[in-house]
Amino acid sequence: MRLKLNPNPSPVKDSDRDAKIAAGGFGKYYTDNMVVINWSEAEGWSEAELKAYGPISLDPATAVFHYGQEIFEGMKAYSQPDGSISLFRPDANAGRFARSAARLALPELPVEDFIETISTLVKQDRKWVPNKVGESLYIRPFMIATEVGLGVRPSNKAMYMLIATPAGAYFNAAVAVTVWISTEYVRAAIGGTGEAKCGGNYAASLVAQKQAATQGCDQVVWLDAIERRWVEEMGGMNLYFIKGSGKGATVVTPKLTGTLLPGITRDSILTVAKDLGYKVEEAMISIDDWRDGVASGEITEIFACGTAAVVSAIGAAKSQYGTWTTGDGTPGPITKQIRETLLGIQHGVIEDKHGWNVKVC
């Protein structure tokens, strides 16, 4: 891939940038640059360009505005103790981006090109990478259908873009979130787009998120579409249930049935939990298992995981069947241990035995 460097001639002043990083939060400020690559059926991928971050101009009849043909990824760059910067398993994000593209009838960007755009942007904007543990530079690659016209068909033009935003601690690690288990709406059905990271999945989820808020909950938990019984995910994160306690605990996550988004954090935790000496399982978990397990004390902790928040404890779960609170409603010891281990690996303070960190600069 050819990549033209045309960096922002007037980047944000050092003091302003540092104030923006220190402000924390998520997605409020963006780095000085972005990367754009255009694709057309006739010519394939164009030369990539790194240029100043800024608005883009599109015809109002551009396909993405009407039929939602769009995919995205979410990953992070972490500063390391030696001052270098690493990505966490970028090959996994690249592979998933290509699979999402295939499902949404968008062109597949080769894995090495995807990673090169990211390392180029991170190198260029490296001063935007926060250096506290728990903070990172959140990277958002995405692709939109750019053919102009209202006919419903797979777009013959697409645009890949890459933007980045400094991320503070996303959720407060000391607080457990409360969830609303939706029995009315579903996120995904077999044959649908549940496995793809596409904006449409999120658009369809927002009404349930609103309902969760009305119920006084922070997030929605999704059940399977057919029986409305099998626990799938929480908002944009995967779920983990801990049975038992101490060294004999078993760490269980819902099995990937084709409707769940296969999270890279989920996958990494299967390995981290095993390394920590726990039994790990991918299994079908029903809402009855959840209610009964919490009541009997067999389920001792529940957490959600994803790139943005890493690991976030779940306390109370509310649904039309009642409210069940796990443990004392605060983050449990295994949840904290897994969170700290994974964060430690990502930040280079715990040995990276599996070669997950990829140094970019």
Ligand X SMILES: *Cc1c(COP(=O)(O)O)cnc(C)c1O
- Which residues form the interface with ligand X (CB under 6 A)? 74, 197, 233, 236-238, 261, 263-266, 306-307
Q: Are strands 85-88 and 48-52 parallel, antiparallel or unpaired?
A: unpaired
Q: How far apart are CA 135 and CA 79, in angstroms?
A: 9
In whole angstroms, the minimum distance from the beta carbon of 176 to ligand X comes to 18
Q: Which is nearer to ligand X, 20 or 76 (CB)?
A: 76
Torsion angle (degrees, nearest 10) of CA 300, 305, 311, 317: -40
Residue 239 C-beta: closest distance to ligand X, Å: 9
Nearest-approach distance from CB 188 to ligand X, in angstroms: 8
Q: How far is the CB of 231 from ligand X (least distance, A)?
A: 13
Nearer to ligand X, 124 or 346 (CB): 346
CB of 293 to ligand X, least distance (A): 22
- The number of helices, as runs of H, and strands, as runs of E, in the chain is 8, 19
In the bound state with ligand X, the residue whose beta carbon lies nearer, of 237 and 252, is 237
DSSP secondary structure, 259-287, as one string: SS---HHHHHHHHHHHHTT-EEEEE--BH
Select 157 or 187, whichever has its Cβ closest to ligand X.
187
Rounded CA separation 118/26 (Å): 19
Q: For residues 65-74, b (16+ Cβ closer than 10 Å) or e, as one string?
A: eeebbbbbbb
Residues forming a β-bridge with 253: 282
- For ligand X, give the closer residue by CB, 33 or 100: 100
